[in-house]
């Protein structure tokens, strides 16, 4: 489960799941590069990881700017691990979704995820060392959800991408998997739970009876990143408290 000597890139790392993933990888010995658009946020996050004895650096980058992504990946040493975490959502009913909603969600959740992974995988393949790519997907990549048509569409797409990438990249020793969290208590999701009916419905569907925390995902990230998962590729690791079991 150790990752000493390996380099990891984590997108959307300024807060929530991304920050927890970065901290987990650093605690396992990896050097972690945290990526986000907000410089002050990831600079502080990287400093906090270093203060705990980890190795971390900050990279201010908008992952939807694909030319900038490729340039940033190409000028640094190749990464051994990618946690493709940056994502967003705008919950609306199908009849209310706007073209801007569609473009904003799909450009980040799907297009950016695709080309970040491609840029990192190209460098991984060139080294001949292999590597691990982890897409942070969702339980909504396996089921439907009310007011989440575009989000579900993008996450179902990530699940298909995971399987197809795993096939294409296996000859290079690059493993590709996804993690499917349930609702996690993060700054992104917290406003949703001000609605008591929504919160009650979510807790009813999560069989373990509670929201996930970012810490609940850390073990899954470290597992898939390292040699303990050497024969795991093209699969989805559900961290959903049993939501999709029914």
Active-site residue identified among 102, 114, 151, 172: 151
Q: Each residue of 28-84: pLDDT tens digit?
A: 999 999 999 999 999 999 999 999 999 999 999 999 999 999 999 999 999 999 999
Domain assignment present for residue 245? The answer is no
Shortest CA distance to 133 belongs to which of 55, 217, 1, 232? 232
Helix (H) or strand (E) holding 114: helix 113-127
Residue 114 annotated in active site: no
139 in a structural domain: yes
Phi-psi region at 236: left, alpha or beta (left = phi > 0; alpha = psi -120 to 50): beta
pTM given for the model: 0.96
**Exposure string for 85-114, b = 16+ CB within 10 A, e = fewer:** bbbebbbeeeeebeeebeebbbbbbbbbbb
**Domain contains 1:** no
Closest by CA to 43, choosing from 75, 14, 20, is 14
pLDDT at 188: 74
- Residue 233, domain member (yes or no): yes
Percentage of residues of the chain with pLDDT beyond 90? 95
Quote the number of domains for the chain. Answer: 1
246 domain-assigned: no
Parent domain of 146: 7-239
Residue 228 confidence (pLDDT) above 90? yes
Q: What is the pLDDT of residue 187?
A: 76
Predicted confidence (pLDDT) per residue in 173-227, tens digit:
999 999 999 999 887 788 889 999 999 999 999 999 999 999 999 999 999 999 9
Task: Please report the pLDDT score of residue 43 as a whole number.
Answer: 96
First to last CA, the chain: 31
The secondary structure element, H or E, covering residue 162 is helix 149-169
pLDDT at 101: 98
| CATH number, position 93 | 3.40.50.720
Which pLDDT belongs to residue 1? 84
Q: Is position 244 within any domain?
A: no
pLDDT of residue 116: 98
Residue 142 lies in a domain: yes
Q: What is the pLDDT of residues 86-133, one digit of tens each?
A: 999 999 999 999 999 999 999 999 999 999 999 999 999 999 999 999
Give domain status of residue 127, yes or no: yes
Residue 130 burial class via C-beta count within 10 angstroms: exposed 0-12, middle 13-18, buried 19 and up: middle
**pLDDT at position 159, please?**
98
């Amino acid at each position: 489960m150790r990752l000493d000597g390996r380099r990891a890139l984590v997108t959307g790392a300024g807060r929530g799941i991304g920050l927890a993933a970065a901290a987990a990888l650093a605690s396992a010995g990896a050097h972690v590069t945290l990526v986000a658009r907000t410089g002050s946020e990831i600079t502080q996050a990287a400093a906090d990881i270093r203060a705990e004895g980890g190795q971390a650096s900050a990279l201010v980058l908008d992952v939807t700017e694909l030319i900038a992504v490729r340039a940033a990946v190409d000028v640094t040493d190749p990464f051994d691990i990618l946690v493709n975490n940056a994502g967003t959502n705008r919950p609306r009913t199908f009849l209310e979704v706007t073209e801007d909603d569609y473009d904003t969600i799909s450009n980040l959740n799907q297009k950016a995820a695709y080309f970040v992974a491609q840029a990192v995988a190209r460098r991984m393949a060139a080294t001949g060392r292999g590597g691990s790519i982890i897409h942070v997907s969702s339980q909504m990549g396996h089921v439907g959800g009310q007011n989440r048509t575009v989000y579900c569409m993008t996450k179902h797409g990530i699940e298909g991408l995971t399987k197809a990438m795993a096939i294409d990249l296996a000859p290079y020793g690059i493993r590709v998997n996804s993690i499917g969290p349930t609702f996690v208590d993060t700054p992104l999701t917290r406003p949703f739970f001000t609605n008591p009916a929504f919160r009650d419905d979510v807790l009813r569907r999560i069989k373990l009876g509670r929201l996930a925390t970012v810490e609940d995902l850390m073990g899954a990230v470290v597992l898939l990143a390292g040699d303990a998962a050497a024969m795991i590729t093209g699969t989805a690791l559900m961290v959903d408290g049993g939501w999709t079991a029914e």
